[in-house]
């Protein structure tokens, strides 16, 4: 499972993977609140994502307590740009699915 911690550092949201997650097909991804962040409220696709996102998730990201969790499809490929929303703001990182 890929776990990404989201923290607030000097008023800026930062990610434990610097905003570039390398993940495998069928992998579960979890977004976890860190310092200064109380909850992850949503993870949504960005219209500017370079690849189709219709079949990216087999289990779309959804709140799981203070975390958010989703499972990548076994047919996903390429890069996917998304928005993480938290109780203190949002950030637009990327997931890169390993072939």
Going along the chain, which residue ranges are E strands? Answer: 2-9, 12-15, 20-23, 28-33, 40-45, 57-64, 67-72, 78-86, 89-91, 94-97
pLDDT tens-digit map of 27-55:
999 999 999 999 999 998 887 776 666 67
Question: Given the structure tokens 């310092």, which residue do they identify?
Answer: 35
* 48 neighbors 61 (Cβ within 8 angstroms): no
Per-residue pLDDT, 80: 86
The reported pLDDT for the residue numbered 51 is 62
CATH number of the domain encompassing residue 88: 2.60.40.420
Higher pLDDT, 58 or 55: 58
Pairing relation of β-strands 2-9 and 57-64? Answer: unpaired
Report the pLDDT value the prediction gives residue 52, as an integer from 0 to 100.
Answer: 61
Dist CA 89 CA 38 (whole Å): 11
Q: What is the mean pLDDT of the chain?
A: 91
Total of domains in the chain:
1
Domain range for 15: 2-97
pLDDT given at position 12: 95
CA 79 to chain centre: 12
Instruction: Give the model's pLDDT for residue 45.
Output: 82
Judge contact between 68 and 2, C-beta under 8 A: no
């Amino acid at each position: 499972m890929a776990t990404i911690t989201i923290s607030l550092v000097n008023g800026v949201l930062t990610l434990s993977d610097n905003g570039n997650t390398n993940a495998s097909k069928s992998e579960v991804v979890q977004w976890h609140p860190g310092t200064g962040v109380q909850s992850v409220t949503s993870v949504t696709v960005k219209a500017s994502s370079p690849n189709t996102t219709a079949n990216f998730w087999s289990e779309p990201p959804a709140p799981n307590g203070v975390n958010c969790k989703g499972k990548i499809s076994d047919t996903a490929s390429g890069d996917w740009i998304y928005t993480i929303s938290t109780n203190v703001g949002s950030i637009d990182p990327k997931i890169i699915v390993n072939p």
